[in-house]
Amino acid sequence: MITNKLSVSNRLAALPVSAIRKLTPYAAEAKAKGVKVYHLNIGDPDVKTPDVMLDVLKTWNQNPIRYAQSQGEPEFVNALLWYYHRLGHKFVQRSNIIATVGGSEACVMALFAVANPGEEVLVFEPFYSNYATCAAIMGVKLVPVPTSIENGFHLPDRQAIESRISPKTRALLFCTPGNPTGSVYTREEMDLLVSVAKDHDLFLISDEVYREYVFGGREHVSILSYMEQIPEQAIMVDSLSKRYSLCGARLGVFLTLNEAMIKGVTRMAQARLSGGLIDQFVGMQLTHVPDAYIEAVQVEYQKRRDVLYAGLNSIPGVTMARPEGAFYSMVGLPVKDSDDFCLWLLSEYRSNNETVMLAPGSGFYATPGKGTNEVRVAYVLNTRDLNRCVELVRDALNVYQQTRRS
């Protein structure tokens, strides 16, 4: 127990370090020494933002830059409505939506909305590592339900899910298409989640920020297609970050038909006053983004997936499930401690003065000891660079295995 009155709070000190960013200082150090670092560790796409969203900035003429409305600027919310209606979900109304500061804020709001401190939320493991930090901030306990690389990180059976439900469980949190897994839940899997939620009176928080990135003719099944069945229970988290390569614009969505919840989340939104007015001015252009933009990006990510999947799987001892969507995969490596391997890549390993940065797998698990032989990769680089990354991983594993470390 820390007693010094000027010590930071125990809960602050206990927040987990970001699995994705924790090695950043080592990458910065390598770069300062002139080393080229390929970033496979973070999902910050190199894809260009649609022109129509950038061009509109040249027309900005409001001075001063005022607050946006707390729930979102009406024109931006209208653009979101247009988007959801076009997806076929005509029931969505303006009053069901809060425009958030990225999907990240929507995740925080969702966890705050469903659980009291000490209560539990089930999450399928491995999971997006910031869920752990958001849950820790809220004092909510994430209870992991394991999935495995062998079945492409798809859902386990009903019994495996139900066995983790306790009197304290309030919600199921999931992400489809999945970060970090690349799995896309089928309609049967979504049916299962909805059925479990119904039987046990649980909320469902569906993170769909990668909705458009689904490969090989698969269908993305949204929680929106169940919302009218379970209006009190379903919450959708969404974001424009990946869809339009707008990560820095901080545009997200919290969506539910639960009126009491929207009322409460509106109070949260009011307490932080507003999202970015200029960001929403950019975002409202989404109605003008040609379909060809998203289609081209889908094709590009599928190409990248194929390059990385073929490349990494050709390395002895490396296992990678074929991603069905998003732009991530958890990759099994022939190492005992991927934290050490990832650190070594940045601090010691060089090939032609180049190296590669990977995200250690353990940060995507809540179960101690899991993920220690895995890394998460994000294929947000062009195919030439991805091929180089595969070469670097192959060579680095060889060198690493010849030292004391493997």
Ligand X SMILES: Cc1ncc(COP(=O)(O)O)c(C=O)c1O
User: Long-range contacts of range 21-30, CB-CB < 8 Å, 24 or more positions apart?
Assistant: 22/360, 22/363, 23/342, 23/343, 23/346, 23/357, 23/359, 23/360, 26/343, 26/346, 26/347, 27/346, 27/357, 29/346, 29/347, 30/346, 30/347, 30/355
The nearest distance, CB 229 to ligand X, in angstroms, is: 24
Restricting to residues 37-56, name those near ligand X by CB under 6 A: 43
Q: CB count, 10 Å around CB of 274?
A: 18
Q: Give yes or no for residue 360 binding ligand X (CB under 6 A).
A: no
Q: Which of these ranges, 80-88, 136-144, 239-247, 304-312, lies near ligand X under the rule CB under 6 A?
A: 239-247
Q: Give yes or no for residue 205 binding ligand X (CB under 6 A).
A: no
Q: Give yes or no for residue 208 binding ligand X (CB under 6 A).
A: no
Nearer to ligand X, 49 or 355 (CB): 49
Nearest to 237 by CA among 59, 103, 380, 57: 103
Q: Which of these ranges, 70-78, 100-108, 192-200, 385-393, lies near ligand X under the rule CB under 6 A?
A: 100-108
- The pair of structure tokens assigned to 117 is 């401190």
- How far is it, in rounded angstroms, from Cα 303 to Cα 387? 12
Restricting to residues 116-155, name those near ligand X by CB under 6 A: 128
Q: Which of these ranges, 98-106, 272-280, 367-375, 390-398, lies near ligand X under the rule CB under 6 A?
A: 98-106
For the chain, the maximum distance between any two Cα atoms, rounded to a whole number of angstroms, is 62
Nearest to 154 by CA among 303, 321, 377, 309: 321
Question: Would you give the binding string for ligand X spanning residues 161-200, x where CB under 6 A is met?
Answer: --------------x---x---------------------
Q: Give yes or no for residue 239 binding ligand X (CB under 6 A).
A: yes
Q: Where are the alpha helices (DSSP H) in 169-258?
A: 187-200
Among 119, 125, 207, 374, binds ligand X (CB under 6 A): 207
Nearer to ligand X, 236 or 307 (CB): 236
First to last CA, the chain: 37
Among 87, 165, 230, 247, binds ligand X (CB under 6 A): 247
CB-neighbour burial class of residue 3 (10 A; exposed 0-12, middle 13-18, buried 19+): exposed
The nearest distance, CB 350 to ligand X, in angstroms, is: 29
Nearer to ligand X, 128 or 153 (CB): 128
The nearest distance, CB 205 to ligand X, in angstroms, is: 11
Written in H, E and C, the secondary structure of 28-91 is HHHHHCCCEEEECCCCCCCCCCCHHHHHHHHHCCCCCCCCCCCCCCHHHHHHHHHHHHHCCCCC
The nearest distance, CB 313 to ligand X, in angstroms, is: 23
Nearer to ligand X, 131 or 400 (CB): 131
The nearest distance, CB 34 to ligand X, in angstroms, is: 29
Q: Give yes or no for residue 104 binding ligand X (CB under 6 A).
A: yes
The nearest distance, CB 247 to ligand X, in angstroms, is: 5
The nearest distance, CB 314 to ligand X, in angstroms, is: 27
Show Cβ contacts of residue 205 under 8 Å, excluding neighbours closer than 6 positions: 107, 110, 111, 114, 121, 171, 172, 173, 174, 235, 237
SS3 (DSSP) at 367: coil
- How far is it, in rounded angstroms, from Cα 173 to Cα 42? 22
Q: Give yes or no for residue 103 binding ligand X (CB under 6 A).
A: yes
Q: Which of these ranges, 97-105, 134-142, 215-223, 338-346, lies near ligand X under the rule CB under 6 A?
A: 97-105
User: By CB under 6 A, how many residues form the interface with ligand X?
Assistant: 14
Residues that bind ligand X (CB under 6 A): 43, 102-104, 107, 128, 175, 179, 207, 209, 239, 241, 247, 252
